[in-house]
Amino acid sequence: MLARIFRKRGGKIEGESPFWISFADLMSALMVLFLVVMAVTLVAVTQSIDSATRATIERSAAISKIMAMIADDPKSAGVGVDQQNFRIDLGKDVRFDSGSYTISEPAGQFLRSYIPVLLKARDTPEGQRWIRSIVVEGFTDEDGSYLYNLQLSLDRSRAVVCSLFQSTSFEDALSSEQLRKVQELFLVGGYSFNSIKKDKAESRRVEFKVDFWGLDEKQSVNSDVLKGKEFGKC
């Protein structure tokens, strides 16, 4: 009598079983990959933010140092230096008669003696890096029309710059090198009566506005256009 042989279905040798990644294991792997990518991205973004913040802080510190240097100069004793808004009110030393843009001789002497303060600040490493220009801004009182005062304010700004180039035998005369720096650095503008003060005499004034480069701005390459250019006469 023959004996029956039974084979158990589904039985496989353990070594021959294929390896399958379960769905849970796959999701865990994807989660780990996602966390790694997020961590790397977060580090990169954080470093970028830190770099931008650091650059902003360094720029602000440099500008504060420049304005403090101007304000602390002994020649700024009678001048109003607004370190927050980068403005320099020349004070009562440079005032104009009503309807006039004539610079008095004492005012001219004061300007020629004060400009080296600004040029010195410009020549510092911080000034070389951040000062873009110095704008001479003229102002008027409210008498007269808007356009009349706009022209008058421009004439006053121009008169200030012209006084720097006057040929004079006084000891306060600027050197040729200093005048070249003025030529490269100084601009003029006018405000008409858009920024009047309570006192008309105080309104008829001139201010310097120190203009700084922004973080994302590239300094223009020095051009040879002004090299050897005659100063001219007013």
Would you state the pLDDT for residue 29? Answer: 67
Tokens of 71: 């304000």
Tokens of 209: 């506005």
- The angle at the Cα of 100, spanning 96 to 102, to the nearest 5 degrees, equals 75
Strands 131-138 and 186-190: parallel
Q: Could you list the mean pLDDT of each consecutive 10-residue stretch along the chain, which spans 234 residues?
A: 51 49 64 71 63 87 95 91 93 86 90 94 95 93 89 93 80 86 91 76 88 86 66 80
Query: 90 with 205: CB under 8 angstroms?
Result: yes
All domains of the chain in start order, with CATH: 47-212 (3.30.1330.60)
- In the beta sheet, which residues pair with residue 209? 87, 135
Burial 183-216 (b: 16+ CB within 10 A, else e): eebbebebbbbeebeeeeeebbbbbbbbebbeee
Would you state the pLDDT for residue 190? Answer: 84
Determine the distance from the C-alpha atom of residue 116 to the mean position of all C-alpha atoms in its chain, rounded to a whole number: 21
What pTM, to 2 d.p., does this model score?
Answer: 0.73
